[in-house]
Amino acid sequence: MRGRDAMTRTTGIIGGFVVAAALLGSASCEGLLDVDTPSRIPAEELETPGNAGLLVTGAVADFECAFGAYAVLGGLIGEELIDATQTADRFPYDRRDMQSSDRRYSAFGCEALGVYTPLQTARVSAENVIRLLNGWTDAEVPNRQFLIAKASAYAGYSLQLLGESFCSMAVSTINADLSVNYGGEITPDSVFRLAEARFTDAITGATAVSNAEVLNMALVGRARARQNLGDWSGARADAGLVPAAFVKTVTASATTGRRENRVWSQNITSNATSVGEPYRQMDRDGDPRVALDSTTVVSVTGIRIWRASGKYPAAGSNFSLATGPEARVILAEGEWQAGNYAAARDSLNFFRARGGQTALTTVDPDTLLAEVVDQRRRELFLDGHHLGDVIRYGIVLAPPAGTAYHGSGNYGSQVCLPLPDVERLNNPNIP
């Protein structure tokens, strides 16, 4: 485990290599990996203070590719998208019957809609950089505190998405000598606590160096982690500090397939997916946040193609990762959780106005909670939130379990991703 291909891109300088070997059980191939190859750069030559910024950039790039795949996968499970292909190993997402032996979600890369390996790669990549930065000095890396804060924020988001989408998780870490501390199987709540801790580190570091972007990114992330943990006072406190106009994006580009907006490539320029029916109705109702293109194209599996062209019109369209509006909708639910129903209603009416909907007058708790869920659907459409919402709110998806699936088989009720067999089989701390 001493090197990897030297490429012009910075993506995955540490993360992908380490995860492939450490998290997916390739220890038996260690001798092969130690073979000297002229095209490879030894890790010790990369892991120097002078490359600190490059290493953080690589960790961010790992996360951004993983995020695009996650947005599509979550959309397929959570009825934002419908699979329109004939590719059978994609069906379990949309059909909601994922098995721990399925390889696409567990072992495939981000360009092929894998999520476990890409998100773990992004997490390990960021955490390895944090380890290195903590071993260097401010004199060696002049912007060291900022880089620690930034890497901590991205590590937090990797953990957040793993916690929101998987039924259980394992969080292993890499030591300085590249040995592995294997993590045992933990619950999503434990993953959210790890994310919260990373976001706290990012907030502390960003505050110390007065970097508003990382600070607000981490505040939204920690509010989201605390929302998942049911810590509503903490979630409201964090969300209330985020400026209304704040936007932090996951960048995309037409330069390479890895950098393309994955929803664009899966929905706009191909017939691989179609937008799901609940969102088609939102478009019919004129909500500009869910602006779709209704085509006459019908896939080979009989799915009429609707495209999210208003949301992601180009390969370089950025995703929203953390925004002021997301913080505000967390605040709205926080008011509901506190029993401040009039305040919750007023906050929700802000979002209804954004969607061209009439204002609510009711303070009925059940109506307002349903409105929280609906406004989150609209405001956070296809940007990696809805799968977590499906699980947290227990949203009943359509078609129901038992209904015939257009590819083959029947719809199921599995919405969280099982911990993959590749983890169970290769992690000595998981029976």
Predicted confidence at residue 231, as pLDDT, reads 98
Asked if the model's pLDDT at residue 163 lies above 90, the reply is yes
Predicted confidence at residue 72, as pLDDT, reads 98
Mean pLDDT for the chain overall: 91
Predicted confidence at residue 44, as pLDDT, reads 66
When mean pLDDT is compared across 35-44, 219-228, 289-298, 376-385, the lowest value belongs to: 35-44
How far is the C-alpha of 428 from the C-alpha of 25, rounded, in Å?
10
Each residue's pLDDT tens digit, 177-231: 889 999 999 999 999 999 999 999 999 999 999 999 999 999 999 999 999 999 9
Predicted confidence at residue 13, as pLDDT, reads 33
How far is the C-alpha of 129 from the C-alpha of 198, rounded, in Å?
13
Asked if the model's pLDDT at residue 276 lies above 50, the reply is yes
Predicted confidence at residue 87, as pLDDT, reads 97
Written as one letter, the residue type at 336 is W
Are the C-beta atoms of residues 39 and 5 closer than 8 Å to each other? yes
pTM above 0.95, yes or no: no
Asked if the model's pLDDT at residue 245 lies above 90, the reply is yes
At 428, the pLDDT band (50, 70, 90 cuts) reads very high
Predicted confidence at residue 45, as pLDDT, reads 77
Specify the DSSP element, H or E, that contains 320: strand 319-323
* Average pLDDT rounded to a whole number, residues 95-119: 98
360: tokens are 């609510």
Residue ranges of alpha helices (H) inside 178-246 are 188-208, 212-229, 232-239
Are the C-beta atoms of residues 148 and 137 closer than 8 Å to each other? no
Each residue's pLDDT tens digit, 392-422: 999 999 999 999 999 999 999 999 999 999 9
Cβ-based neighbour number of residue 142 at 10 Å:
11
How far is the C-alpha of 203 from the C-alpha of 206, rounded, in Å?
5
How far is the C-alpha of 129 from the C-alpha of 66, rounded, in Å?
18
Asked if the model's pLDDT at residue 138 lies above 50, the reply is yes
Packed helices 144-165 and 52-77: angle between N→C axes, nearest 10 degrees: 20
% of the chain exceeding 90 in pLDDT? 88
Domain ranges of the chain: 3-253+320-396
At 43, the pLDDT band (50, 70, 90 cuts) reads low
Are the C-beta atoms of residues 397 and 391 closer than 8 Å to each other? no
How far is the C-alpha of 269 from the C-alpha of 309, rounded, in Å?
10
- Region label for 295, one of left (φ > 0), alpha (ψ between -120 and 50) or beta (otherwise): beta
What residues does 250 pair with on adjacent strands? Answer: 319
Are the C-beta atoms of residues 321 and 230 closer than 8 Å to each other? no
Distance between first and last Cα of the chain: 26
* Average pLDDT rounded to a whole number, residues 73-80: 97
What is the CATH class of 3-253+320-396?
Answer: mainly alpha
Asked if the model's pLDDT at residue 383 lies above 90, the reply is yes
Closest CA to 300 of 133, 84, 72: 84
How far is the C-alpha of 240 from the C-alpha of 148, rounded, in Å?
24
Each residue's pLDDT tens digit, 316-349: 999 999 999 999 999 999 999 999 999 999 999 9
Q: Which residues contact 399 (CB under 8 A, 6 or more apart)?
A: 411
What residues does 294 pair with on adjacent strands? Answer: 306
Q: Report whether the peptide linkage leading into residue 142 is cis, meaning its omega lies within 30 degrees of zero.
A: no
